[in-house]
Amino acid sequence: MAMEGKIFGTDGIRGRFDEGWLTPERVSALGRAIARADVGGSGETRRALIAHDGRASGPVLERAIAAGLDAEGVASVSAGLLTTPGLAWLTQTGNYDLGVMISASHNPAGDNGVKVFSASGEKLDDEAEARVEELLWADDSGTESSGEVSFDAALAEAYTAYLREQACPDLDLSGVRVALDCANGAGSYVAPAALEGLGAAVTSIHCAPNGENINRGCGSTHPEDLQATVRAGDHDIGIALDGDGDRCILVDERGDLVHGDGIMTVLARWRMANIPYTDPRMVATVMSNRGLHRALREVGVEVVTVGVGDKQVVDALKSEG
């Protein structure tokens, strides 16, 4: 192709399934470009880990990108239905050269997307994305590669165990009543299992993905059902995830929403009162309300503001130490 330009957005590639860059043919081309760009290094034996959320098109695009990777000598393993944080952690700890998450996060079921992670479990930097884009524009084969991806059920189980191990022995949720809305998405199996493993009594809603119901009137963008569940069932807390499980919104014991700024305020103020930060600064995006800045300033915490996107937050955490 003679065209060129940005393909990756602030959080990977996203759009309508089977349109634009999200046809199986172009996702196969993306796999070839990722491999050719040496995203995971250039060794003779390279491995990629792939996962998807609860969309019907997830397994289709998973096979497509695995085929493209395979055509360039990168073998793929699928963790199946798994959250983006789970995919990132498993990529980092499981001796994989790169990770690929097939998800459109909080978007409706007809959309999908691709997020690419390096061997360190981090999103690609701008330079790596630019290399992939250049190679992708130059790939004019227009065909979907043929290939298969093997599924390993033990991967999701390993991540669930890791979550429980990280919380214990400090966190005992015995007797705590939790209402959990997984948006019929990637966290539908991992999240209830992790919380129940810590002793919580979990009421799960919207944890039954059928390929078409992800984010439909549920999850972090539509928490009304969760609020009603908390109020009706005498719950201590409500947790709503988005489609790929890398975002949450909380509901307090009264059924009232606790948004991201509220969560960060509670965490930082508790920490400063109990185990003060050695560097009392927090990174937040421009989407955060100025009320967050005021609430944290009262306890000596400064807010470092960055642009939208978790990648920008991570970059600032690194650069600011």
**Annotated active-site residue in 57, 103, 105, 220:** 105
Distance, in Å, from the CA atom of 283 to the CA atom of 315, rounded to the nearest integer, reads: 10
> Which phi and psi (to 5°) does residue 282 adopt?
-125, 140
Overall size of the chain counted in residues = 321
Other beta carbons within 10 Å of 160: 19
DSSP secondary-structure letter at 10?
A: T
Distance, in Å, from the CA atom of 61 to the CA atom of 115, rounded to the nearest integer, reads: 12
The full DSSP string for 135-185 is HHHH-----PPP---EE-THHHHHHHHHHHHHHTTT---TT-EEEEE-TTS
Which H or E run contains 284?
Answer: strand 281-285
Distance, in Å, from the CA atom of 53 to the CA atom of 243, rounded to the nearest integer, reads: 7
**How is residue 49 written in tokens?**
């880990």
Is 57 a known active-site residue? no
Q: Is the dihedral of CA 196, 202, 206, 210 positive or negative?
A: positive
Give the residue numbers marked as catalytic.
105
